[in-house]
Chains A and B, each alone.
Chain A
Amino acid sequence: TQLLEQSPQFLSIQEGENLTVYCNSSSVFSSLQWYRQEPGEGPVLLVTVVTGGEVKKLKRLTFQFGDARKDSSLHITAAQPGDTGLYLCAGGRGSSYKLIFGSGTRLLVRP
């Protein structure tokens, strides 16, 4: 069974602080997606990374795919209350129709 483990499971920080969320696996993925989900809504795709070592930036969010394509990280600079939500990583493998989802990191940014 392919597993994606996310850490930490829960994070509560003060507005303005930086944070990093991790997504790790023993399996290689051909792509990795990060989603953010707010209460009562569906997950929203933030970014997709496909190349080992790839770094993508989305405003204050920086996403990195590990060189071996087994892990990924999400770094948020100067977190804001609007960043509060559940962050999910999901991995895809080749031609498979399915995605493997991590269990999520719940982020709370306090004003």
Chain B
Amino acid sequence: DAGVTQSPTHLIKTRGQQVTLRCSPKSGHDTVSWYQQALGQGPQFIFQYYEEEERQRGNFPDRFSGHQFPNYSSELNVNALLLGDSALYLCASSDSGAGGNEQFFGPGTRLTVL
């Protein structure tokens, strides 16, 4: 099991563009959460997907949206990119059947907005 995988590894976009990041959860996990980690900060929760629905959402604008597919993989979409969106985006998966408490993180996607 490769664990949580994310693609792409790095991405460079310009202001105003749109971006889609992808995440495949650890085998057996059904819940996916997305985090934004700015330089020198801890991860900040964006939202969580379970059963293809957004279950919880952090304090992020509607420009940030997501999707979960029947195979539990997930996408994070960001529209109208701002310079401040430059960050490491982390995906984490968990198993709701095991209490969902422990989150397993992916390696992240580094997004740079110019």
A and B are interacting partners: no
